[in-house]
Structure 1
Amino acid sequence: MQVRINKLQELLAAAQIEALYVTNPENRYYLSGFTGTDGALLVCRDKTFLLTDFRYLEQAKDESPGMTIIEVKDSYAEALASILAENKISSLGCEGEHLAYNQFLMLKDKLVNLEIKEKSGLVEKLRLTKYDDEIKNIAEAVRLAEQAFEKVLPIIKPGVSEREVALQLEYSMRCMGADGAAFDIIVASGPRSALPHGVASTRKLREGDLVTLDFGAVYHGYHSDITRTVVIGEPGPKQQEIYYIVLEAQMRAIEAIRSGRRASDVDRIARDVIAAKGYGERFGHGTGHGLGLSIHENPRLSSKDDTVLRQGMIVTVEPGIYLPDWGGVRIEDTVVVEESGCKVLTGIPKDKLINLLNLS
């Protein structure tokens, strides 16, 4: 953790602040390892303070050794004001995207002679590239989600509701050791598979349905994200056509990922494959996104993101085609960017459209 703190401290001078008040829970965990539900960090140029209340003092000492633990007795604003005064700090950065307005007003009231600057994104900049322990946690989150998927496949059959499938997926992930589901599990069947974010409904599966399952696990705070599209019965010609177009787009994008490539270039490669087949207007979202302590992080594999990919970044690759009143297909894997390519963490087969009625 100290390496991460040191890197953040190096950014403070360039950001023209003497300290950063960290209130985003994911950033707090990233920098301190503290898992309590109430707390904040004050990262100064040579010191770091973890502020929390009585309930979490022993936990903070155990999870965040080396940090100065401050008990908050009245308010975070008062505790912060005391620390800043003692350390003669005159300029403070805050995470405006995560600091509630009423909390900001309290800070302004208590820190009368101190300049407060909005400095969101400093910790997120560090989180772009993952350390080895983070990659291992994400890989384990992928493994848990994959095992749950394999366990649930046999129950995906006519008469079962989308919600039942989603519930069994989450239950299986938790039984295997996951902290929980990474997000509301998507199980979208038949015409509903044309909904990119078709969260599981009460609709019962029918023979002939395409079924898109988008799911992930959380392990030690880190997320996985996987999508597979299957069919209940023998796939029809159009189902096969759409599936293999999406698969080609996804494979081309994965082949293009390497350190030095722009995120927007990867998006364009996937999008060009789908557009060339006449379905460009039916692929309306980005090709992928970063993930880690959040399910959606930077960089984004999008035409609007020119981030240069670097070794250690982790992104999803998830092109799709969605046809209203018919259905849709999406295929998604999680990959680690490497110097000369990428490592695919997801191992669930995708080379063909799986007929669930033919499972052996």
Structure 2
Amino acid sequence: MNIAPGKTEVRSIPFDQTRVDRLMDEAGIDVLFATSKHNTQYLLGGYKFIFFAAMDAIGHSRYLPILLYEKGGPEHAAYIGNKMEGGEHQNHPFWTPTLHAACWGTLDAANLAVEHLKQIGKSAARIGIEPGFLPSDAYMLVRKALPDAKLVDATGMLESMRANKTEAELEQLRIASELITDSMLATIAWAREGTTKTDIIEQLRREETNRGAHFEYCLLTLGSSHNRAASSQAWKKGEVMSIDSGGNYHGYIGDLCRMGVLGEPDAELEDLLAEIEAVQQAAFSKVKAGTLGGDMIAHAESVLKASKVAAYTDFFAHGMGLITHEAPFLMTNHPVAYEGTYAAKPLEKNMVLSVETTMLHPTRGFIKLEDTVAVVEPGRGGLALTALPLTRIANRIAKGNSGQSDLSPRGEEPVSVGAKLFSPRGEGGREAAG
């Protein structure tokens, strides 16, 4: 289905056009040439084509969605997609005035993009591309067909575009976090003595899928082992379980880690997790608009440094959204290879962070908590769960019905003025320490 420019009016633009235009201007970009699935999804208001949700490869090539957006010129916007996406448009029309649902690979998609740029008079423009998501054959076609154009790396600009979430995005992230956490709690309750890591991971996949989440991975440890890969290792009485899973809800990531123990946790286990929780709470206390990202990191690291478990414990925080590591980037090469470019910048309203503290205990195993927090206005109601009563930290993981217990720090949670901690459904909204 090809719809020529000018034949369709601009529908409601699903992103903050003023903000995007400003970011493009600052980056020296005239036209966006977005090709990653996460950025085309964002620019299309949440749409992604289900046929290529799991794999891009088809025939001799691959799926290459392209969203073209001219700064200040939404009437010239175009979406270039697979031939089967014409039906998607018929049922739920794309906002772009031009649609080319006609492609099966990278070269035909890139060629249609080039022709569109020529038609709107942008063959010599500064075109913002995604180098990591533009296949080499498509790049070479564009470079040869538009010799007067300047191809600009738009990666940073697009990351900034997604950094501050809308209320709808925050809700998607909250739901994703709830679904993943609910699934982990159910899986801990389901597992028995003798259940293998492979079986536990498969059960978690079913739990997440049945709740409407898209399962992506599970990193699991049992007992004293630090190995998080699937295996035939079986859970034994008295051993801890670290269950770290990522999944998504309509593309938005839930990435959390919870702990369980087969039997009742002893005092040492409770104290070890309390050390981790102290670091988590230290980080939460600095998650507020205006705080430098690096100051939040430094405060959490200072609390960890003073802890008796510092020698074998690590702290890390990163941005979350449509992908698991996105703006704000707070730490350099720790462990993912990117620069902590936001460490010297203030946190802003509606940024979302994953905060995680990991202990590799020499005898008790892999002990970790990972939570997702959103920067909200002090005193603001925040997300839907915030209005519900605060709950005890010990309820972070509900007790199972088959001998498994939660392994969570003791005591009541302090109230936050700056961060919203996503919590399991039914526990009530929990704001992080402020």
Q: Percent identity?
A: 21
Superposed CA offset, 1:136-157 (max 9, x none): 1111112222322332222233
Aligned residue for 1:102? 137
Structure 1 letter corresponding to 2:23: L
Q: Shift of residue 341 of structure 1?
A: 7.8
1:126-141 aligned within 5 A: 126-141=161-176
The residue aligned with 2:57 is none
- 1:20 corresponds in structure 2 to 32
- Tell me, yes or no, if structure 1 residue 308 matches structure 2 residue 346: yes
Superposition TM-score, scaled by structure 2 size: 0.74
Question: Which residue does the alignment assign to 2:113?
Answer: 80
- Displacement, 1:124? 1.4
- Taking the TM superposition and a 5 Å limit, the aligned residue runs for 1:285-296 are 285-286=315-316, 288-296=317-325
Q: CA RMSD in A?
A: 2.7
1:34 to 36, 39, 47: 47
SS state at 1:332 partner? strand
Distance 1:355 1:41, change over 3 A: closer
Residue type at the aligned position of 1:141: A
Q: Which amino acid aligns with 2:70?
A: C
What 5-or-longer segments of structure 1 have no aligned partner?
A: none
Verify: 1:186 aligned to 2:219, yes or no.
yes
2:19 maps to: 7
1:323 matches 2:361 = yes
Letter in 1 for 2:270: Q
User: What is the aligned counterpart of 2:394 among 347, 351, 354?
Assistant: 351
Q: Quote the Cα distance in structure 1 between the aligned partners of 2:15 and 2:398.
A: 45
- Do the aligned residues in 2 keep the contact of 1:210 with 1:327 (CA within 8 Å)? yes
Distance 1:297 1:341 in 2: 27
Does the CA contact (< 8 Å) of 1:261 and 1:309 recur in 2?
yes
Q: TM-score, normalised on structure 1? A: 0.88
Matched, 1:177 2:208: no
Q: Are the counterparts in 1 of residues 240 and 364 from structure 2 also a CA contact under 8 Å?
A: no
Which stretch of structure 1 is more off in the superposition, 222-231 or 346-355? 346-355
Counterpart CA distance in 2 for 1:254 and 1:276 is: 17
Distance 2:199 2:271 in 1: 29
How many angstroms apart in 2 are the aligned matches of 1:102 and 1:25?
18
- Check if 1:206 corresponds to 2:239: no
> What's the offset of the Cα at 1:285?
5.0
Equivalent positions of 1:160-175 (< 5 A) are 160-175=195-210
Q: Kindly indicate whether residue 151 of structure 2 is the aligned counterpart of residue 116 of structure 1.
A: yes
Mapped partners of 1:43, 1:8: distance in 2? 10
Q: 1:233 to 1:301 in 2, by over 3 A?
A: farther
Deviates more, 1:313-322 or 1:24-33: 313-322
| Matches of 1:322 and 1:307, distance apart in 2 | 31
Question: Within 2, Cα distance between the matches of 1:17 and 1:95?
Answer: 12
Cα separation, 2, equivalents of 1:232 and 1:314: 33
Of 56, 70, 84, the residue aligned with 2:85 is 56
Structure 2 gap segments, 5+ residues each = 1-12, 53-62, 333-339, 407-434
Provide the residue aligned with 1:222 in structure 2.
Answer: 252
